[in-house]
Structure 1
Amino acid sequence: MATVVLSAAFSLNAEAKLYKWVDSNGTTHYGETIPPEYANREAVKLDKGRIQQRDDVRAKSGQKQTVRDPAAEKDRIEAERHDNALINTYSSEKEIDLARDRNLQQVEARINSYRTLLKSAGENLASLQQEQERLIQQKRKIPKSLEEDLDEAQQRIDNFQADLDNSQREQEMVKARYAADKARYRELKGLPPVAAQ
């Protein structure tokens, strides 16, 4: 019985881990545990006759950690949400094309409206400029009201042109957005990309 207890105790001790560390005075120590005051220092783990380098706590803290960038995480979540919306909203590429066409119709209606307004404002400005030219030829003073009308007419043209330019940019953005959505939809559905035309 004593032999069994002794052999069990011996095998437990044989399984124990042994560490080697150096204190602040440069003295080397060995033990089954590293004292807390030396836990931050480099140590060597002696394991079954082999020496294994123990990770230094200071080195671990200096390693690049894989902390997620909040902006990248937000972008990832937004992309996942967009992917889910594509899959749940559209059952085919044709539906994406129909949605694009509906959005483009609204933008194109605004573009046509601004073109009509621009044409009308241009004709109004031309009429006011002709009146101004007639007064100059007659060597008459140009009334303040005509000058104000000319300024207002030019301002209207500038505003309509800016609105037209914005609507044309919006039209291109709608086309690009739906083209990207369609390409992503094909990718999510496992379809090959559409060949460039």
Structure 2
Amino acid sequence: MKIFSVCLVLIVVVFSTAVEAKLYKWVDDKGVTHYGEVIPPEYTNKSNVLLNDKGRLIKRNEEINNTERRTNEEDDAKKRIDNEAKLELSRKDKALLNTFSNEKEIDLARDRNLHQVESLISSIQSLQRAARESLKNYQQEAEGIKRAGRKHPVSLQVDITEGENKLAKLQLDLVKAQEKAASVKASYEADKMRFRELNGSTKK
């Protein structure tokens, strides 16, 4: 029994010694090679090797260079974006099919939305005509005063400036409304094309 216990202790000691004898080998940022039982944290993700007590290679860890890491991250991001885009397209397709049963309904929805925008455009154009006429009157009045050799009243110059600013703003509003109309038409045309694809139809 004593002999068995002594043998068991020797086995444990030998095994423990073998485990403790394993060494890591790594190279620091200055190119100096180091050996040790523990790798400093800043080098754990860089190239290093694990050696046994006889100096034989047990395991090699290769550093992933910045370019490869960046490429992998970009690939993962692209896959994530692609998956999100597919999910969004699927959601839109379901909504399109649930909202419309034929192309005529799409046209009707387009016309309803266009009517609102076109009414806005018409309103802006009416305001522009009135603003131009008002500004023209102010300018004619100023021209008459100038011909008479009199000084312009400050209030008249203020009216002219405000009239010019109003026309400039109305023009911006008109451009935005026209862009909105074009966007509505393009959006519903795209919906119609997608509706045809989903229904396997090629009719126009």
Q: TM-score, normalised by structure 2?
A: 0.63
Alignment of 1:1-197 (within 5 A): 37-38=58-59, 67=76, 69=78, 70-192=80-202, 194=204
- Between the aligned partners of 1:94 and 1:154, the Cα distance in structure 2 is 44
Deviation at 1:77, TM superposition (A): 2.3
After superposition, the C-alpha distances for 1:48-81 in whole angstroms (9 at most, x for unaligned) are xxxxxxxxxx8xxx69766353433333222221
Deviation at 1:131, TM superposition (A): 0.3
Deviation at 1:116, TM superposition (A): 0.3
- Between the aligned partners of 2:88 and 2:82, the Cα distance in structure 1 is 10
Asked if structure 2 preserves the Cα contact closer than 8 Å seen for 1:183 and 1:193, the reply is no
- Between the aligned partners of 2:76 and 2:170, the Cα distance in structure 1 is 50
SS in 1 for 2:145: helix
SS in 2 for 1:38: strand
Asked if structure 2 preserves the Cα contact closer than 8 Å seen for 1:124 and 1:153, the reply is yes
SS in 1 for 2:201: coil
What percent identity do the matched residue pairs reach? 40
Asked if structure 2 preserves the Cα contact closer than 8 Å seen for 1:121 and 1:153, the reply is yes
Q: TM-score, normalised by structure 1?
A: 0.65
Match of 1:38, as an amino acid?
Answer: K
- Between the aligned partners of 1:109 and 1:82, the Cα distance in structure 2 is 29
- Between the aligned partners of 1:120 and 1:105, the Cα distance in structure 2 is 23
After superposition, the C-alpha distances for 1:150-178 in whole angstroms (9 at most, x for unaligned) are 00001111111111111111111111111
Q: Alignment RMSD, CA only? A: 2.8
- Between the aligned partners of 2:77 and 2:202, the Cα distance in structure 1 is 32
Instruction: Determine the structure 2 residue equivalent to 1:4.
Output: none
Unpaired runs of 5+ in structure 2? 1-49
Unpaired runs of 5+ in structure 1? 1-22, 30-34, 42-57
- Between the aligned partners of 1:68 and 1:111, the Cα distance in structure 2 is 43
SS in 2 for 1:67: helix
Q: Alignment length, in residue pairs? A: 146
- Between the aligned partners of 1:74 and 1:127, the Cα distance in structure 2 is 58
